[in-house]
Amino acid sequence: MYTPEEQLPVYIDTQYIYSDEDLIGGQDDFLVFVPIELKPASPIALEGFLSDMRTLINAYKLASKTYNIKWIE
């Protein structure tokens, strides 16, 4: 801000509340991290594993909450 004697334009810089990192994948309410060692090798077994996991998570989560399953090393 400037004083009236300086007679310079008032310019206030834009400040963002959230960073890009905060907004990445912002549609999920929570993440479920699963160790990569538990990941089945075959695609059919993987689909069955994920189906069982989703069933268990859906039984305990609130209906309005969304989640994403991530494999971690």
C-beta of residue 14 within 8 angstroms of C-beta of residue 33:
no
C-beta of residue 27 within 8 angstroms of C-beta of residue 66:
yes
Per-residue pLDDT of the chain (73 residues; tens, 9 = 90+): 556 777 666 667 777 776 666 666 568 888 899 999 999 999 999 999 999 999 999 999 999 999 999 999 9
pLDDT at 43: 96
Cα of 59 vs its chain's centroid, Å: 21
User: What CA–CA distances, in Å, run from 51 to 12, 23, 28, 34?
Assistant: 52, 28, 18, 14
Q: Which of 19, 31, 14, 22 is nearest to 66 (CA)?
A: 31
pLDDT at 42: 97
